[in-house]
Amino acid sequence: MATSRLLRTPAAVLAATALLISGCSSGRSTPDADASPGRTTEAGVQRPAEDATLQPLPATVPANLRPYYDQKLSWRPCGVAGFECTTMKAPLDYAEPSAGTDLKLAVARKKATGPGSRLGSLMVNPGGPGGSAIDYLQQYAPQPASVRARYDMVAMDPRGVARSAPVKCLSDRQMDRYTETDQTPDTPAEVDKLTAAFRYFAEGCKSHSGKLLSHVSTIEAARDMDVLRAALGDQKLTYVGASYGTFLGATYAGLFPTRVGRLVLDGAMNPDLDSRTVNRDQTAGFNVAFTAFAEACVKQRNCPLGQKNAEDAGRQLAAFFKKLDARPVATGEERKLTESLAMTGVIAAMYDQRAWPMLREYLAQAKAGNGRGLLALSDSYYEREPDGHYANQMYANPAVNCLDLAPAFATPDQVRAALPGFREASPVFGENFAWAALNCAYWPVKASGTAHRIEAKGADPIVVVGTTRDPATPYTWAKALAQQLSRATLLTYEGDGHTAYGRGSDCIDTEINTYLLEGTAPPKNKRCT
């Protein structure tokens, strides 16, 4: 059961499946970054006030934070050859820093290789929230060579993530049961079972993670980035953020506009949206991606969803999900392929069109009674290893999301009232996405952030990248963020999949590499294929 739709690069999903999420969020949390409060609608959904704009922090570092900014990092060889690792101290609570409660955040780098003069550090984040930036750096980000030659490539696992004081919630066996929970309830009893699962998950996080849950907001993670920038010796931040990483980068720009160097925000989020709108927009985004997949599939003689049209393919997939709801299929192991796991597997394949042939094959197998392939796709989404161990991403994801924004829904009745709109957004996925958005209603920590604009007045030019048929971060979000930022250029990729940089478009890669190496932003309204 995908309790939160992840916003991340597709590399991890594709890499894992080659062997064979509900709402993302935006938000503000720390008192000294607060702008105007939001307003609440009759339905209980928080909307940003007209003047709710993220305000910058003072340019001068406060005396009580100076020890963090002045710390010296001690590097050691680690992991993949050529990489170095260290830990960085950050206050648990920026409002009341105390050495006794400091967090140790994991950092990795690969130093500039040359030729050419070093340009500084380039920080990367793959999204999530909850994705390990260090894993991403070591596995996928040493390219392109021209950028690697001039920059020290740097990654920090954000607070609550992977190696940096990770949020913990359930045992692996408990997580297995949780992911199998029916997320399209048909009866009051099934609704009760779903809400009980949400409560159980939330209580597990509270029990295992305690005070940390109140301090994993995007605001705090962005402040950690500024501490790291200073510890690295850089006057300004150079950064490439993908998916949720764009919100992290934009938040940094809003808080520290005069310290913004060259920022690339690929697969951009719109921080000006409440959580219900985010979830509904993302539902529509996955429907756009599925329609593109279905249109390509029905042209294939072996399409398991027929050869008529995309609409009929959607009906066939929905009917298949309904069949699994009544009778899960075997997978060759103890777990069976349930409706929830199958839907998560299909959603995982929407992140990257290179997974579409694999999805066609696995759907055909599942319809024939073998659910192993779709289960593997689902496992890749949840970052479940072959030995049954889950990475921390599915715990960190709701911890950040539920802190950054008020819940999309407060009660099952609110979900029921919203179902028509979600079904309109996606006849195949709408019901699942709507019920998934209920998870934050039971979170043990009250949301501290609200939706807001990010203008980052005084920042250097920022490049915002949007993909026209992106499932997880709809193209409209990239346009909205580019319009909010005081100095931003929108670079458009006309294509499928989630994010664009480093995924096959020479046009996109050339524009971004030129910006990173020379500081020249793409031409206004530049579009690439």
192 is known as an active-site residue:
no
| Residue 404 in tokens | 């950054």
Helices (H), 76-157: 133-140, 145-150
Q: What is the residue type of 327?
A: R
Longest dimension (CA), the chain: 68
Q: Which residues of 297-332 are buried (b: 16+ CB within 10 A; e: fewer)?
A: bbeeeebbbeeeebeebbebbeebbeebbeebbebe
Instruction: Tell me which H or E stretch contains 109.
Output: strand 103-110
Reply yes or no on whether 498 is catalytic.
yes
CB contact burial 132-150 (16+ within 10 A = b; e otherwise): bbbbbbbeebbebeebbbb
What is the amino acid identity at position 415? V
- Based on DSSP, count helices (H) and strands (E) in the chain, helices before strands: 18, 14
Q: Give the phi and the psi of residue 288 in degrees, each rounded to 5.
A: -60, -45
- The answer to whether residues 499 and 9 touch, using CB atoms and an 8 Å cutoff, is yes
Residue 117 burial by Cβ neighbours in a 10 Å radius (0-12, 13-18, 19+): exposed
Nearest CA to 2 among 173, 153, 197, 230? 197
Q: Which of 405, 505, 454, 431 is nearest to 56 (CA)?
A: 454
Residues with Cβ within 8 Å of residue 407, at least 6 apart in sequence: 275, 437, 438, 440, 441, 443, 447
Q: Half-sphere exposure (CA, 13 Å, Cβ side) for 399? A: 31
Cα dihedral value 93, 94, 100, 102, nearest 10: 90
- Residue 397 contacts residue 381 (beta carbons within 8 Å): no
**205 and 444 Cβ atoms separated by less than 8 Å:** yes
Are the C-beta atoms of residues 342 and 366 closer than 8 Å to each other?
Answer: yes
Distance CA 509, CA 19 (A): 27
Strand 7-8 versus strand 462-469 pairing type: unpaired
Q: Which residue is catalytic, options 121, 132, 496, 498?
A: 498
**DSSP-assigned beta bridge partners for residue 390:** 384
In the numeric block, which tokens belong to residue 480?
């909205």
**Of 470, 496, 505, 509, which is the active-site residue?**
470
Annotated catalytic residue: which of 243, 378, 380, 448?
A: 243
Please indicate whether residue 243 is annotated as part of the active site: yes
Say if residues 397 and 166 touch (Cβ distance below 8 Å).
Answer: no
Catalytic residues: 243, 470, 498
